[in-house]
Amino acid sequence: MIRMRLGVTAVMIPELDFPAQIALCVRLGITCYQLRPRCIPDAERGKPPGPWGNHRFDLTPERLVREGPAITAALRGAGLEPWGTLPAASIDDPDDALKLHAEGAAASGAGRVRIGPTPYPAQPFDYRAFHARVVDRYAAIVERITRPAGVKVLLETHCGSIAASPGLARSLCAGFAPRDFGVILDLANFAREGEVSPVLAVSALRDWIDCVHIGGSRRTDAGTDESGCRKVGFRFCPLDESDLNAPAWIAAIAAAGIDPPFIIEDFGDYADGPGRLERSAGILHRIVGR
C-alpha cells in the first residue's frame, strides 16, 4: 500500500461554489486544495461554468489577499490543506502583479505560487541566451517578491513550454534551493509532450517536486498531412485510459522516498467537473490499494 495525499485544483470544478467544493472534497477523501485566483472574462459571465470560463467561486487575486485567512480557516476546518495558488501568472508580468499573487499565496497559507516562464519563439532561437534570461528573471522574482513574502515559486511542466519535460524543467530550477523553487510534475502534459520514463523523470527532479498534477490524456488519429504522413491529435480522457501509466509514475515517486500530493486535474468531456473528480479519486484509491 502506498500512502497518497489527494488534492484538486479549483479550476477543475467550476460548477460548484466554495462550500460545495469543500463538501465534495471531504466526501472523496481529498485533503489538498489548490486555489485558482483569476478574473472571469467579461464575455464569460452569465454563461455556464467552465474550467477556463465562468466559475461559481469567483476568486479574484484581490479577493484572495483580503479573504485568504478566512478561506484557509474554512479549508482547515474541514480537514483540507491549501497547497499553492495557480494564477495565470508569467515571469513577464510586472512586479506589482506578481507581488499581488505572492501576497495572496501568503495570506491564504498556501505557501507557493505558480509563475510560468516566457513562451519560447515559434521559430528556432538562441536557446542559451533565452534560457539565461528566464533563469535571471526567476532569480529576481525569488529575491524581490516570493522569498520576502514567505512563499516559493512553482514551475509547471507543461506542453508548449520551455519546461515541457523533466530535463528542461531541471535546467531552470537547478540553481535554486527547493525551499524557494518547486516543480509541479504534470503527468497529463507528459502524455502530450516531454514524456520520459517515470524513474528518469523522478530522479531528475526529485529534490524540487512539490506536487503532481494527475489526469488522463491520449493520442488520437488526426488524419494525414499533404504528404500523406500521419498526424496525431490529443484529447483528455479518464485517468485509467491515459497513454501514461499512472501506477508506474506513482510507484516511481514512492520509491524515490518523496511524498508530494497528487492534485487531480481531469478536463475530459465525459462528465462534469464533480463527476470527473469522483471517478479520478476512485481510480487513484484503487491504484494505491485503499
pLDDT of 290: 63
Domains of the chain by residue range: 6-288
Positive/negative CA dihedral, 53, 62, 146, 141: positive
pLDDT of 191: 82
Pinpoint the alpha helices (H) of the chain. Answer: 18-28, 61-77, 95-107, 127-141, 147-149, 166-173, 187-190, 198-205, 246-255, 273-288
Query: What would the CATH number be for the domain defined by 6-288?
Result: 3.20.20.150
- Indicate whether this model's pTM tops 0.75: yes
Nearest of 131, 132, 137, 133 to residue 115 by alpha carbon: 137
Rounded Cα gap, residues 36 and 107, in angstroms? 14
Q: Is 227 exposed, middle or buried (0-12, 13-18, 19+ CB in 10 A)?
A: exposed
Please check whether residue 193 is in contact with residue 160, taking contact to mean a CB–CB distance below 8 angstroms.
yes
pLDDT of 217: 92
pLDDT of 193: 86
- Residues of the chain scoring pLDDT < 70: 1-2, 290
pLDDT of 194: 82
Q: What is the pLDDT of residues 105-133, one digit of tens each?
A: 999 999 999 999 999 999 999 999 999 99
SS3 140: helix
pLDDT of 115: 98
pLDDT of 1: 53
